[in-house]
Amino acid sequence: MSRPAPIPHGLPMERDAGPFDPPRDITRLRDARPVSPMVFPDGHEGWLVTGYEAVRQLMADTRFSSRKDIGILHMPYDVPGMPAITEPSPQVPGLFIAMDPPDHTRLRRMLTGAFTVKRMKQLEEHIVDIVERQLDELARLTPPVDLVKEFALPVPSLVICELLGVPYADRETFQVNSAKFLERNVQLDEKMAAYNAITTYLAELVTRNRAAPGEDMLSDLARHDDLTIEELAGIGFLLLLAGHETTANMLGLGTFALLEHPEQLAELRANLDLLPGAVEELMRYLSVVDVLFRYATDDIELGGEIIGKGSTVMFSMLAANHDPQRFENPDTLDIHRTARGHLSFGHGIHQCLGQQLARIEMRAGFEGLLRRFPTLELAIPANEVKLRTNMNIYGVHELPVTWTETAQ
């Protein structure tokens, strides 16, 4: 069989197969050539990896460097003005998601204790309280309301603010600038301005913490004398951004997906014990952190292809998680399937540090919402829901919902 030629125009992003499925071209490509050359719009040739096994293997291989941009979740071609990468990029202080060992190891190690399953379990009750309070507020509103604004975004923002000791009253600074940072086709200088606005704010906060530490995670980190203020601000940025944008989009898009699958939603309402499994399946099915990339520091064999040293390698978690070689009927949401093994929290040394926290937030969030709003429904036709195809974390911009009754 002849192999398809390199894709000429970068990664297709339009959700032409529906709001939850990979773009058709991506599915076709994965089935034909799961490790495929790709010409980026700026003309340089790199690779696109879409098959489950290959994506997993590449995330496990540290020869694929994470030092590939100014930080997090950027593709070199979607930031106008950003040059193609020709060598591992300089590291941004504190941003360990974009570092390699040993620098990555040094910073991540300082945080693992704070994110253990046990520590997160201890927080669970408190997270449930935050969810319930937010649902009280929601119930006081007259529908229709935007669920993203009133629920999906506030819950993880409140949780991460409290964990980090960032005043929630200052949320405008980080929510608006995080969104700018994650938007595609925004000029590099605008992205940098958004990044600088958040880190300048955080640098002031951690400077105060260092002088008078509180009971929060950034204060704990500020006690490490070997961390500079710049590093602390960078770590704070990463935790703040990763801590609210991802989970917010899972709650928003996840609710949309459940409303579009009313039978499974009814089953879930009737038996909330199904929720942990359903959350894993929603993670797989939706893959809100879809596209990531790495930089090859060597010639590396992957899925029968040789990725040349110096190549930019993009990979699609959505495509991998919808790979029929790994999951049966992958484009079907099935809350009964064993979705374990999905790659939505990444894999290897950069695997998501906040995954236990995210799971607790999602379980508490969906459980509370389903229990208290038994008649929840979309307030607009599904095809009018605004999808975040212009953002580096997928989801819905708004989710107008309505209801006729609430419960306690």
Q: Give contact residues for ligand HEM (rule: CB under 6 A).
A: 59, 66, 96-97, 108, 160, 238-239, 242-243, 246-247, 250, 288-289, 292, 344-346, 350, 352-354, 357-358
Least distance between ligand HEM and beta carbon 1 (Å): 32
Least distance between ligand HEM and beta carbon 132 (Å): 19
**How many Å apart are CA 306 and CA 184, to the nearest integer?**
29
Least distance between ligand HEM and beta carbon 81 (Å): 23
Nearer to ligand HEM, 88 or 144 (CB): 88
Nearer to ligand HEM, 303 or 354 (CB): 354
Nearer to ligand HEM, 222 or 288 (CB): 288
Nearer to ligand HEM, 105 or 187 (CB): 105
Least distance between ligand HEM and beta carbon 349 (Å): 6
Least distance between ligand HEM and beta carbon 271 (Å): 23
Nearer to ligand HEM, 77 or 345 (CB): 345
Nearer to ligand HEM, 143 or 302 (CB): 302
Nearer to ligand HEM, 250 or 318 (CB): 250
Please state, in angstroms and as integers, the Cα–Cα distance from residue 116 to each residue in 155, 239, 276, following that order. 21, 15, 18
Other beta carbons less than 10 A from residue 208's beta carbon = 15
Least distance between ligand HEM and beta carbon 80 (Å): 22
- How are beta strands 400-402 and 300-302 bridged, if at all? unpaired
Contacts (Cβ under 8 Å, ≥6 apart) of 142: none
Nearer to ligand HEM, 100 or 143 (CB): 100
Selection from 212, 394, 203, 219 nearest residue 317 by Cα:
394
**How many Å apart are CA 51 and CA 31, to the nearest integer?**
8
Give the residue at shortest CB distance from ligand HEM.
354
Nearer to ligand HEM, 48 or 289 (CB): 289
Nearer to ligand HEM, 143 or 163 (CB): 163
Least distance between ligand HEM and beta carbon 8 (Å): 26
Least distance between ligand HEM and beta carbon 91 (Å): 12
**How many Å apart are CA 54 and CA 51, to the nearest integer?**
5
Least distance between ligand HEM and beta carbon 294 (Å): 8
Least distance between ligand HEM and beta carbon 141 (Å): 25
Asked if residue 385 lies in contact with residue 305, where contact means CB atoms within 8 angstroms, the answer is: no
